[in-house]
Amino acid sequence: MSYKGYKILAVIPARGGSKGIPRKNLCKVDGLSLVARAVKITKALTWIDKVVLSTDDREIAEEGRKYGAEVPFLRPLELAGDTSKSVDVWCHALVEAEKYYSTSFEISILLEPTSPFRETRHVEEVVKKLVEGGYDSVLTVSETDSKNHPLKQIVIKDNRVGYYDEAGKDIIARQQLTPVYHRNGAAYAVMRKCLVDQKMIIGSNPSAVIIDEPLVNIDTEQDLKRAQFLLCR
């Protein structure tokens, strides 16, 4: 099946060499690995044509296959390092998938395993907005807490304190702050041209889906414990 005539590829990026939490993508939250959680979301969305797990790790590959993802190729080592760019990883997966399946995908979505609180509706909303709004890229975001607003941040250099942004000098109350948002990793959707031809995840005509409920993006052991606590309540 396709979404309104668009052929869609879902990509789940999951390298084996995570540093903050070793073997992070295989860590379990409420009995399911992070990889398994991402795959299960895609399998619930019947309009996704193919689901590919992009990994350099055979154990992670087997975990993905167990829950229904396909792993027609392993990610090359040069795209599996700490400094590898997400756009290169995603683009590689799309191009290689097109070769393997002998087809083209007009749209690709990216689901990072480190966002275990995503729901099917989050993925549906980014694709719907991409197609119906005529955008080249859509991502999910969350509003940044006012305590972490850029205008309230400071820098320390040579033991001297300064404003990260000099405009912060004029901020007295949080009501003066313009809301800012951060990527939460729940879902990205792009048109093929944006990703492959322009090498962009956030293109020249982007939009966003704001998620109001709290999400946990797992990067540290503390994040993992918090996710486990929230999902097991």
- pLDDT for residue 125: 98
- Distance (Å, whole) CA 166 – CA 127: 38
User: pLDDT tens, 134-168?
Assistant: 999 999 999 999 889 999 999 999 999 999 999 88
What digits encode the pLDDT tens for the residues 167-192? Answer: 888 887 778 889 999 999 999 999 99
Instruction: Note whether 190 and 93 are within 8 A (CB).
Output: no
- SS3 state at 140: strand
Q: Residue 206 and residue 204: Cα distance in Å, rounded?
A: 6
Q: Are residues 63 and 90 in the same domain?
A: yes
> Does the structure show a pLDDT above 70 at 70?
yes
Do 204 and 193 sit in the same domain of this protein? yes
108: nearest Cα among 11, 205, 4, 208: 11
What's residue 1's pLDDT?
A: 66
39 and 82 assigned to the same domain: yes
User: Which pLDDT score is estimated for 232?
Assistant: 76
Looking at residue 49, its pLDDT comes to 97
Please give the model's pTM, rounded to 2 decimal places: 0.92
Same domain for 103 and 157, yes or no, is no
Domain containing 36 — which CATH number? 3.90.550.10
> Whole-angstrom Cα distance, residue 65 to residue 61?
6
DSSP annotation of 213: S
d(CA 125, CA 118): 12
**Predicted pLDDT of residue 168:** 86
Its domain, for residue 152, covers 147-178
